[in-house]
Chains A and B, each alone.
Chain A
Amino acid sequence: MSNIDWIILVGTLAFIVFYGVWKTRNVKNVESYLLGDRDLKWWTIGLSIMATQASAITFLSTPGQAYEDGMRFAQFYFGLPIAMVIIAVFFLPLFYRLKVYTAYEYLESRFDLRTRTLTAVLFLVQRGLAAGITIYAPAIILSTILGWDLFTTVLIIGVVVIFYTVMGGTKAVSVTQKQQMIIILGGMIVAAIIILNKLPADVSFQDTLGVAGKMGKLQVVDFSFDLSNRYTIWSGILGGTFLFLSYFGTDQSQVQRYLSGKSLTESRLGLLFNGIFKVPMQFLVLFVGILVFMFYQFTPPPLHFNRGNVDNIEQSSYAPAYKQLETDYQLVYQEKQTAIKDLMLAIEQEDETAIQAAQTQVKTYFQQDSSLRAEAKTLIQKQNTFAKVKDTDYVFISFIVNYLPVGLVGLLLAVIFSAAMSSTASELNALATTTVIDLYRRSIVKDRNDQHYLKASKFFTILWGIIALSFAATADLFENLIQAVNIIGSLFYGAILGIFLIAFLFKSVQARAVFLGAIVGELIVLITFTLSVYGYIDLAYLWLNLIGCIIVILLSLLFQAIFGDSPPTPTKVLDR
């Protein structure tokens, strides 16, 4: 990396951090620290919500996913605007009326302290583990590509985030996220323009779309109703609404973003801003992946994108076999050129017969191409059984490092670091807030002054930061850690959503019924998971989210019918 790139990378990140610290230098009490004085405008809230959801892995993986699988992943977000509207209508006014710090506080006014504490603990377990992964996942990719030490990369991301989150609390998180989102969006737009300019002079934008479309890369919407197909318009709208409702409505890392709004209006507008711009933003990120795909139709791509794996195999006894695969891959690439030119010409002349012939020809080369890439992966795994051969996460970053001009490499790396920091900052902030408000101040140390709880909030931010860092730094000791964390999340997320849906939708259900329903429901989820681990049942872990939610709702209704508690009391004033 050149000195200019270093200056841009360090300068951008340092500017954002110091801007955040400077803007929040007057944070002097708990409300100010945890809710940012509730004075944020809608655009800051909207950008902050987007930045929290978009982690670094989004910007590393999504273009790679489009490169491999086309644009259909965009459908995953189709339920998001619907969820934003539902939260703005039903969730938000309730949270505002009770002036809560956390989503779980509401559960005490609706049910009781036990339910609030249980839900807060479930959140802390899953989000505490996820915070480590939010740092670790991009760090392992960045360290491989840039040749940096993994521990140093983890430390750079972690220490910087902990610093400004501790200094300025939630307001620092939001104001830095605003800057980070501007850098992220600006960086992705610049990347798209540069890639277009790097295509051969005789390949127009129309040609790019034409060839990508004929290769099946521009199939954004799929109306087929197939439960085994992960991305269709139906799974996006039905499943997506459910998923985003639970994420934005009950996960404190998101709830805290919109609770820091100046008014209900500002918070609502912030959510709707996300509802309007999130889908186009994901489209842009995926489209950058398509442009990278098209770039590599006219520039020889590497056989395998993970440089670390390639370096290892080139120094092993498998080097000659790998070299042979590379030679074959380049031959296929050369032959594919003629077929692509034929396809472009046929599209231009609108000759359907010629289009189909050229399309078949190009697809044949793509199959050869894919099978050579698969052989390379098999070889890499033969050389090192533990090597992670899925290389789509490395497609965009290796393009950035190898093909972007000096200066832009630094800017795009700043994009990825910014995304890692913005998500982690929200997570640490939410973990500290939930620990202080729902556990420490509510049940452990109750009657101390504001300054004590301010110090406690800073202490817990550092503590959660250290936990996340330790987890991230030792993550490579565990095999398939990302999946492990997703499984842990799936074990608890369903129960949390179930509790909230009972609170919102079933006014007759009371505290005892929902608490028992949540405990028994959670146990059933854990037993189901254990049975699937030992092979007694065959169930993908993602289904545990839905199963947990439905079981908690059904059990709560059942227990309510059995116990027949008294009708609901009016909303209580929260005892903080």
Chain B
Amino acid sequence: MRQKPPFDEEAPPIFTTWNQLYCFVLVLHLIIICLFYWLTKTYS
């Protein structure tokens, strides 16, 4: 099996893999957009 370069081995400080952290960022962004949508609907 091909070895990853050393700089790429480190796991993120939270979650097990980087993909999980990326998903977390994108899901958080989606939640923020939903909150903005709620604000728009509630106060318009």
A-B contact pairs, 13 of them (CB 8 A): A78-B33, A81-B25, A81-B28, A82-B26, A213-B42, A214-B43, A214-B44, A218-B40, A220-B39, A221-B37, A233-B33, A265-B13, A283-B36
Report A-chain residues with C-beta under 8 Å of the C-beta of B7: 93, 96-97, 263-264
B10 touches A85 (CB 8 A): no
B43 touches A81 (CB 8 A): no
Asked if A531 is an interface residue, CB under 8 A from chain B, the answer is no
Best-surrounded residue of B7, B42, B43, B44 (most CB of chain A within 10 A): B43
Report B-chain residues with C-beta under 8 Å of the C-beta of A82: 26, 29
Query: Which residues of chain B have a CB within 8 Å of any CB of chain A?
Result: 5, 7-8, 10, 12-13, 18, 21-22, 25-26, 28-29, 32-33, 36-37, 39-40, 42-44
Interchain nearest-CB distance for A270 vs B (Å): 13
Asked if A268 is an interface residue, CB under 8 A from chain B, the answer is yes
B43 touches A263 (CB 8 A): no
Binary B-proximity of A261-273 (CB < 8 A = 1, otherwise 0): 0011100110010
Interchain nearest-CB distance for B8 vs A (Å): 6
A88 touches B22 (CB 8 A): yes
Asked if A279 is an interface residue, CB under 8 A from chain B, the answer is yes
Which chain B residue lies CB-closest to A267? B7
Q: List 11 extra interface pairs beyond A213-B44, A272-B21, CB under 8 A.
A: A71-B36, A93-B7, A210-B43, A214-B43, A220-B36, A221-B37, A221-B40, A265-B12, A268-B12, A279-B32, A283-B36
Bound: A97/B4 CA distance, A: 11
A263 touches B10 (CB 8 A): yes
Report B-chain residues with C-beta under 8 Å of the C-beta of A97: 5, 7
Which chain A residue lies CB-closest to B13? A269
Q: Give chain B's interface secondary structure class.
A: helix
Partner of A219, one of B5, B8, B29, B44: B44
Bound: A216/B44 CA distance, A: 6
Interchain nearest-CB distance for B35 vs A (Å): 9
Interchain nearest-CB distance for B5 vs A (Å): 6
B40 touches A220 (CB 8 A): yes
Asked if A173 is an interface residue, CB under 8 A from chain B, the answer is no
Partner of A85, one of B25, B33, B44: B25
Bound: A233/B21 CA distance, A: 24
Best-surrounded residue of A71, A74, A209, A264 (most CB of chain B within 10 A): A264
Interchain nearest-CB distance for B1 vs A (Å): 18
Q: How many residues of A contact B (CB 8 A)?
A: 34
Best-surrounded residue of B12, B25, B26 (most CB of chain A within 10 A): B25
Report B-chain residues with C-beta under 8 Å of the C-beta of A272: 21-22, 25
B26 touches A93 (CB 8 A): no
A78-B33, A221-B36, A265-B10 given; A209·B26 CB < 8 A:
no
Asked if A89 is an interface residue, CB under 8 A from chain B, the answer is yes
Report B-chain residues with C-beta under 8 Å of the C-beta of A214: 43-44
Bound: A268/B42 CA distance, A: 36
A85 touches B26 (CB 8 A): yes
Bound: A436/B7 CA distance, A: 27
B43 touches A209 (CB 8 A): yes
Which chain B residue lies CB-closest to A206? B43
Report B-chain residues with C-beta under 8 Å of the C-beta of A209: 43
Report A-chain residues with C-beta under 8 Å of the C-beta of B40: 218-221
Report B-chain residues with C-beta under 8 Å of the C-beta of A221: 33, 36-37, 40
Partner of A276, one of B12, B28, B42, B43: B28
Asked if A275 is an interface residue, CB under 8 A from chain B, the answer is yes
Bound: A166/B12 CA distance, A: 34
Binary B-proximity of A88-100 (CB < 8 A = 1, otherwise 0): 1100010011000
Interchain nearest-CB distance for B33 vs A (Å): 7
A205-239 interface with B by 8 A CB criterion: 209-210, 212-214, 216, 218-221, 233
Which chain B residue lies CB-closest to A223? B37
Which chain B residue lies CB-closest to A212? B43
B8 touches A93 (CB 8 A): yes
Asked if A243 is an interface residue, CB under 8 A from chain B, the answer is no
Partner of B10, one of A88, A213, A218, A264: A264
Bound: A78/B31 CA distance, A: 12
Report A-chain residues with C-beta under 8 Å of the C-beta of B33: 78, 221, 233
B25 touches A84 (CB 8 A): yes
A218 touches B39 (CB 8 A): yes
Partner of B29, one of A213, A264, A268, A279: A279
